[in-house]
Structure 1
Amino acid sequence: MPYLLVFFCSFITLSFEILLIRIFSIRLSHHYASLIISLSMAGLVVGSLAAFFKQRSSKPLNPSSSQALQRLAAALVASCPVVFITLSVIPLDHVRMLWEKVQIVYFVLFILLCTIPFLLYGAFIAFSLSVWRDKANKVYASDLIGGATGLLLVAMLMNLLRTEYVFAVTIAVTGLAILAVLENTLSKIIAGSIFFILCLLVVLDVSAIKMSPHKGLVQALKVDGATHVTTIYTSHSRLDLFENPQMKFAPGLSLGYTQPVPKGLGVALDGEIAGVIMGGKQQESYDFLSYVPSALPYLLLQPKNVVIVGAKNGIDLLQSLFFGAFHISVTEYDASVLRAFASIHDEYSPRTVYFFHGSARRLLRSLPQEPDIILLSRTGFFPSGNFGLQEDYDLTVEAITSYIKGLKKNGILFVQMFLQPPPRNELRLVMNIRAALNKMGVAGLSKQLLIYRSWDTVNILVKKDGFSETDLNKIGQFLSNRQFDILYPGMAGQEKFITGLDYEALFNKILVHESSADFSSSYVFDIRETTDDRPFFHYYLKLSNIREIYRISGRKWPYLIHEGMFLPFVLIFLVVIAIGIFGSTLLFLKRRGAGNLQLNTGLLIYFALIGFAFMFTEIFFIHRLILPLGSPVRAFSITLVTILMSSGIGSMLTVWFIERKMIWIIGLTPLIVIANYIIFDIIDETALSVFSVVPIGILLGLFFPVGLRFLVSKETDGGVPLAYAANGTASIIAPSLASLVAVSCGCSILLILAAIFYALAIVILLFATRRISWMSKHTWTFLF
């Protein structure tokens, strides 16, 4: 039986996929990593269709063809390091694609190379399901559990080893397993030698991950006097600390401050400079900290307890120490950043500094005392936005509401971000804050809300119980002395220091005018409020305004990729590729004659529906479990492992249910999915939300083997690979489609769509079983 082979082939394939995402994120960027992997997955369909044609040939594989499957598995394992090594020597430079046509050739070559392992994997799984279709539930379970195990091992090892070493370990583990299964001694010797050489090449510097020369870290280390300090590896990111004379950071520093700003250690995440960490031993001498916009909350209060949301810049922590805060809590999603701060933790003694891995909302519930100030800074070292499809649960309406409610009486929420024309980040932030205050029943926004700007930052201050006359006087003096402009509310006699775009008018359209909804709907970017159900703060695309946005961006398509706005085009491209590959196959069969193949529409629709539904459910939980699990990486890993493991268990139980005539239980799936839709907002920040994945996962695991049993005829040549190809086609399109639906309508709609898809699949299954029941009484055949 092929269970062990299937397990380890799935193990290496999912491991390879996860590691490729990390490798491309470090070498190129997160945006290109997602794009390349999405396109590469087309190989899954091609491999399945290759198996389909083989099974329809004069020499199809059968249960006695174990050696052929063993060789295919060995080829799959060997292809992963070969592709990895080859990619490391291709001189792809994504920036130069703007003017060098040869870079487009390299980009296409990247995609084609990445396709090879997925192609071999698709063929192997399709062959295995076809050859051992009577045990398809166990084969499918081995596939799911193997993928979950690979993901789990990679996630653990990435916290301990370099990415290249993690890859070598996965190859070694899988290679040993393949060697144990191979029956031919000569094949074992040859395969073992190849695996050993490939692992050695992966570990050596020959195939080390080389960052793009345009990455911030690479550029920073070219400066005279720059030195690399250390590298920290976790499953979240690769963090590099380095010294550079230019690593001086004071966002919004007043132009009236003429003294030098001290330098610190540069922080680079996956090669991009994210911030600066300054030592804490000399914070008393850092007088520039009173000349930055974020000093105002500390001048209005004398805080003892401060919460800092996001720790990529040490300036926020230093400022709290500078102004005398004694209890400081810092939240951060990225484990690499927390490790970096832990290495210099002694510099902040004797003050109490607590680093928390997770969201600020979870932290606030566990704090013994309410904070005086909650500071949320979105000012990285460079004024660049996050990837458009990246969730930001720290800035949703629900998050801001919880911050304000969690403050001590007269406490202050302070939010800072860079001004980035064209205006969109700051407008959406103000929309969220207005919605949060309205949700709390605040009548006069001007009594609690203050917005002011420096030459490069916008700063928003919310005081829980409103500003007093003393507060207003201090604010006026601070803004005048530091040469900052007030944007909201208007203050009589306040001098203007900064010219340029009229941000005051834009904010007034949101906060003062009754037509704020009209302004939001007519604005070129999507600046609607973001919620926990639609937490994509940095996604601003309006499809109706795509031409205008392209014009505003200077007619540069990399801008669209960075902002996540390329998603609709990626989806269209994937649909064209998937339909082109699958449709051309069906057209070819129609012209040549399908023989005894029963190309019924029901079979293809069924497996496509469960492919879409499975991915939609999976993506919903990946997004929504970030809050209870504390980070996107942890949510991704735990969700995927849990769903794959529980679905594997469900697949194993398929025969048990059928033998006891309990297959009706599959009909509970849409109801349980809808139940999660109804109750998830209640349990989304508790441990119950994680456990809710298990029963759904078990039910999802039933659909594929049940479909093979009742929809694919035993007399049909190639029916199983075709079903797997249909399922794979949906799985390629579904992630991009789900992301587009989520950013537009919210994540919860994914569960509604998944329930509808599963209900339609059950209807198809119901008609099939009834027909089988009728035909079995008359002809004892199982055709559909």
Structure 2
Amino acid sequence: MKEEKRLAFGLFLVSSGALAFETILFRVFTFIFGYHFVSLLVALALLGYGIAGSFAPRFPDWFKNDVLFYFGCFVISFWTALVFLPFDVYELFVKPYYFLSLCSLILLSLFPFLAHGLLQVVTFERFPRRFPHFYGLNLLGSACGVALALLLLSVLSEAKALLILALLGFLGGLSRWRWLCFALVVCLLLLPLGMRLSPYLPSKSLLLIPESTLLRTYRNPFEVLEVFSVPSMRVGSGLSTHFQGVPPSAFALVFDHHQLELFPREVADDFLEALLFGLPLRSGKHEKVLVIEGRGGLEVYVSRHAGAQEVTLVTASRAFPRFIDDFVPSFPARMVVASPRHFLERSEETYDVIFVRVPVGRASVFPGSFSFVEDFLFTAEGVKSLLERIREGGVVVFSFFLQNPPSLLPKLVSLLDSAYGKEELARNSVVVKNLDFALLVLKKGGWAKGEVSLLSEELEKHRFDWVYFPGGELEEMERVFDTGKRYARVVEGLLFKGEEGSVFDIRPATDLRPYFRNFFRFLQLRETWKNLRKRWLPFGGAGFLLVLVVLFMVVVFALVALFYPLWRKREKHLPEKAKLFILASICTATGFMFLEISLFVLLSLFVGIPLYTFSLLLLVLLVGSGSGSTWVQLQLERGKTRKFALSHLLNLGGCLFLLVFFKEGLLTLPFLVLVPLFVISFTSGMPFPWLSQKVHRTDPSLFPLIFAYNGFFSVVSSLLAHLLVVFWGLSWAFAVAFLAYLVFWWAIGKGKATFPAVSG
């Protein structure tokens, strides 16, 4: 009993530390990659579990008996690499040793998860009948680890939070080595050491500007906002070339070290009149204005200058309002902190003007499908909710930067077409631009000829360009800035000729296949390979190439690691039912990971903030799965297999149906989504513990192999699930998960006659 309690305590601590480590890793990789490829961490974590299963018999007893201590050592090793290893993601394809540094960083990130997986195998080896209980405790400890990570991140930097986690590994013993390591970590906590960041990131490069000063840093578990005073920075998005004055200096706001926004210190009337933002306000009513994620502030100031009586700014950032309170107390807008999609769905108010900033696609550079910032505003359903908030005669103003070749503009037109229809869009929209900044203005009720004429006069006055207006000819477009009429041709082709022959993926995003920022098509791979290492920018098609390379490497590594224990058993006779166990293990891994990845994407619709979404999903999944696993310990009987299978599949199918087909109703009361999510989690916690007891009754020595298959196929499934969601949507991913669990229960039921009843 004493040994069981000691092992349970160690498992709880290691599981808490491992999930806290994973949550902090999300933040670390967010800063390193600029939100991209963060979801690949799920795969990396599971790779560590697969290694633990494959090589568990080869680990010495002295290592197995003190996994908690070595977990702390592994965290310290990763911290050391994070702080001291030379690495810059912006030169990843330029300097080969940076690629080696990245590989080293990734390799060191696996070992804490290896320790966690190994301890689970040890608990099965020593207390096989009690494994469902241990497995449930493991999942509950993991849930506590997520909460611990959020608590640490609310008060500490990522590097300091990792050091606190390392201290967990040195609890529970009084050996000389433990005390030495404990003292070392305490000393490191006192030193001003932090993670290495690229000098190209705004938070680093701004400090190189003379007289630049970091005024304040705002930190919460989900974001970091740094406020810089940079006198040489000037605000001027959409500024007329006829403006003769000096654009105002600005605060430089850097979100999560890489997203830069310039906020004007003070604005003059002549500057506001020369902005492209002011054009939609020159005609019609504009008494009530809504600005969505306008953290640059220009839309607010322009609206007030034009005479708007009420301006509301909606942002998901918790830190931005704190900046406004401290540095801009006279800011002329009402602040609302909420996910824009949630605000639109739950609000009954209507507006004369809505300003929306379209996220910069940079399609040839960044693969938005793997970024960690999806807000579901730029989906067909999101655009419809946006249009419902506009009064008759009001306008929605989409602002964005132009790319060459055109990518974001055709995708935006395609999205509005899916929500509005070509004929209505052609009659009710205009597109104007300066050199590289553009507005697509959609008017409810259509544009009258007099209004178009008034806009033409304003364009002529400020030397802005038409890209499209109803009834306009191609010769009238893009005359000030000679671009070969590339943007006008794109809009004309989409609206009147149905042309969609773009090198980029411009299919309209939906709630079930989001990722407005994804422009990648596999046709780009050839050009990507051709230009590899010829450009300093790190992502783009090369980003998807990195995903495919990781997938290939994981598959190869998994096959080699799985072959090893099979080769070791070549002289032993494996039971015929072992194949069913392996199939069941693969199916439960596939089902769980397809569910986890898909639920993370879908839950972002209801929650809004990605890291908060990830944390909340893990908490519910782990608590629910832990409860389900504990319940299995109490219910294991041979005759109940069919009952378990039926209840699991019915609950899973019913809850997925509810989430997919009734998501609009749940959006009005988003926390109700936790009910079907908990049911899914509870039932998903039952299959693997059930399988463990089947293995125990047949051949307990098979469990490490089963655990390895589960871990490695979880890795592969997490990558495949994300690719499936990106290109085909959530419905397909949910279907694969349901099919995987169906096959799992078939495999379990196929061998039930060989198993005697299992007592609790």
Change (3 A) 1:290 1:564: farther
Change (3 A) 1:149 1:543: same
Alignment check: 8 A CA contact 2:81 2:105 kept: no
Change (3 A) 1:475 1:636: same
The residue that corresponds to 1:677 in the other structure is 656
2-structure distance, mates of 1:530, 1:558: 25
Q: Please report how far the alpha carbon of residue 271 of structure 1 lies from its aligned counterpart in structure 2 after TM superposition.
A: 1.9
The residue that corresponds to 2:185 in the other structure is 198
The residue that corresponds to 2:23 in the other structure is 18
The alignment status of 1:411 with 2:394, answered yes or no, reads yes
- Aligned residue for 1:402, secondary structure, equals helix
Letter in 2 for 1:236: F
Q: Please report how far the alpha carbon of residue 735 of structure 1 lies from its aligned counterpart in structure 2 after TM superposition.
A: 1.9
Q: Please report how far the alpha carbon of residue 661 of structure 1 lies from its aligned counterpart in structure 2 after TM superposition.
A: 5.1
The alignment status of 1:91 with 2:86, answered yes or no, reads yes
Alignment check: 8 A CA contact 2:93 2:533 kept: no
Q: Please report how far the alpha carbon of residue 243 of structure 1 lies from its aligned counterpart in structure 2 after TM superposition.
A: 1.5
Alignment partner of 1:695 out of 679, 682, 685: 679
Change (3 A) 1:539 1:356: same
Q: Please report how far the alpha carbon of residue 712 of structure 1 lies from its aligned counterpart in structure 2 after TM superposition.
A: 4.2
The alignment status of 1:122 with 2:120, answered yes or no, reads no
Per-residue displacement from partner, 1:259-280 (whole Å, max 9, x unpaired)? 110011101122224211224x
The residue that corresponds to 1:421 in the other structure is 404
Alignment partner of 1:110 out of 105, 108, 112: 105
Letter in 2 for 1:524: V
TM (norm. structure 1) is 0.88
Q: Please report how far the alpha carbon of residue 585 of structure 1 lies from its aligned counterpart in structure 2 after TM superposition.
A: 3.5
- Aligned residue for 2:231, secondary structure, equals coil
The residue that corresponds to 1:80 in the other structure is 75
Change (3 A) 1:716 1:39: closer
Alignment check: 8 A CA contact 1:26 1:238 kept: no
The alignment status of 1:241 with 2:227, answered yes or no, reads yes
Per-residue displacement from partner, 1:342-401 (whole Å, max 9, x unpaired)? 4345222xx451222212x32234446311111111367999867432324111111111
Per-residue displacement from partner, 1:325-358 (whole Å, max 9, x unpaired)? 232222223333343334345222xx45122221
Alignment partner of 2:627 out of 641, 649, 652: 649
- Counterparts of 1:118-267 in structure 2, within 5 Å, are 118-172=113-167, 174-175=168-169, 178-179=171-172, 182=173, 186-187=174-175, 190-205=177-192, 207-267=193-253
Letter in 1 for 2:458: F
The residue that corresponds to 2:636 in the other structure is 658
The residue that corresponds to 2:717 in the other structure is 734
Change (3 A) 1:609 1:223: same
Alignment check: 8 A CA contact 1:3 1:138 kept: no
Letter in 1 for 2:517: H
The residue that corresponds to 1:313 in the other structure is 296
1-structure distance, mates of 2:121, 2:18: 14
The residue that corresponds to 1:64 in the other structure is none
The residue that corresponds to 1:480 in the other structure is 460
- Aligned residue for 2:681, secondary structure, equals helix
Between stretches 420-429 and 493-502, larger displacement belongs to 493-502
Letter in 1 for 2:250: G
Per-residue displacement from partner, 1:636-664 (whole Å, max 9, x unpaired)? 11111101100000000002222595441
Q: Please report how far the alpha carbon of residue 743 of structure 1 lies from its aligned counterpart in structure 2 after TM superposition.
A: 0.5
The residue that corresponds to 1:621 in the other structure is 599
Change (3 A) 1:161 1:340: farther
Letter in 2 for 1:467: W
The alignment status of 1:396 with 2:379, answered yes or no, reads yes
2-structure distance, mates of 1:314, 1:352: 9
The alignment status of 1:353 with 2:334, answered yes or no, reads yes
Change (3 A) 1:169 1:146: same
2-structure distance, mates of 1:114, 1:753: 29
The alignment status of 1:43 with 2:48, answered yes or no, reads yes
- Aligned residue for 1:411, secondary structure, equals strand
Alignment check: 8 A CA contact 1:412 1:463 kept: yes
The residue that corresponds to 1:372 in the other structure is 352
Bigger relative CO (Cα 8 Å, ≥ 6 apart): 2
The residue that corresponds to 2:326 in the other structure is 343
The residue that corresponds to 1:504 in the other structure is 488
Letter in 1 for 2:709: A
Letter in 2 for 1:156: L
Alignment check: 8 A CA contact 2:379 2:509 kept: yes
Change (3 A) 1:553 1:535: farther
2-structure distance, mates of 1:509, 1:696: 45
Change (3 A) 1:99 1:405: closer
- Aligned residue for 2:580, secondary structure, equals helix
Q: Please report how far the alpha carbon of residue 14 of structure 1 lies from its aligned counterpart in structure 2 after TM superposition.
A: 1.2
Alignment check: 8 A CA contact 2:368 2:519 kept: no
Change (3 A) 1:109 1:746: same
Alignment identity in percent? 20
- Aligned residue for 2:237, secondary structure, equals coil
Change (3 A) 1:746 1:191: same
Alignment check: 8 A CA contact 1:666 1:702 kept: no
1-structure distance, mates of 2:325, 2:649: 46
Per-residue displacement from partner, 1:524-579 (whole Å, max 9, x unpaired)? 22111111111111112222442145558896582336765643333223222222
Q: Please report how far the alpha carbon of residue 755 of structure 1 lies from its aligned counterpart in structure 2 after TM superposition.
A: 0.4
2-structure distance, mates of 1:660, 1:306: 64
Alignment partner of 1:527 out of 506, 509, 524: 506
The residue that corresponds to 1:294 in the other structure is 277
Between stretches 159-168 and 719-728, larger displacement belongs to 159-168
Q: Please report how far the alpha carbon of residue 150 of structure 1 lies from its aligned counterpart in structure 2 after TM superposition.
A: 0.7
Alignment check: 8 A CA contact 2:125 2:700 kept: no
The residue that corresponds to 1:754 in the other structure is 737
Q: Which structure 1 segments of 5+ residues have no match? A: 62-66
Q: Please report how far the alpha carbon of residue 435 of structure 1 lies from its aligned counterpart in structure 2 after TM superposition.
A: 1.1
- Counterparts of 1:450-465 in structure 2, within 5 Å, are 450-465=430-445
Alignment partner of 1:607 out of 567, 580, 585: 585
Per-residue displacement from partner, 1:691-716 (whole Å, max 9, x unpaired)? 21011111111111100112344544
The residue that corresponds to 1:536 in the other structure is 515
1-structure distance, mates of 2:177, 2:531: 58
- Counterparts of 1:555-570 in structure 2, within 5 Å, are 556=535, 558-560=538-540, 564=544, 566-570=546-550
Q: Please report how far the alpha carbon of residue 48 of structure 1 lies from its aligned counterpart in structure 2 after TM superposition.
A: 1.9
Q: Please report how far the alpha carbon of residue 512 of structure 1 lies from its aligned counterpart in structure 2 after TM superposition.
A: 0.8
Alignment check: 8 A CA contact 1:4 1:142 kept: no
Per-residue displacement from partner, 1:184-209 (whole Å, max 9, x unpaired)? xx43x54244224224314522x312
1-structure distance, mates of 2:685, 2:731: 21
The alignment status of 1:3 with 2:8, answered yes or no, reads yes
Alignment check: 8 A CA contact 1:165 1:203 kept: no
2-structure distance, mates of 1:700, 1:388: 27
Alignment check: 8 A CA contact 1:231 1:241 kept: yes
Alignment partner of 2:309 out of 296, 310, 326: 326
Letter in 2 for 1:48: G
Q: Please report how far the alpha carbon of residue 46 of structure 1 lies from its aligned counterpart in structure 2 after TM superposition.
A: 1.6
Letter in 2 for 1:602: L
1-structure distance, mates of 2:647, 2:391: 47
Change (3 A) 1:677 1:39: closer
2-structure distance, mates of 1:370, 1:82: 55
Letter in 2 for 1:611: A
1-structure distance, mates of 2:546, 2:11: 35
- Aligned residue for 1:528, secondary structure, equals coil
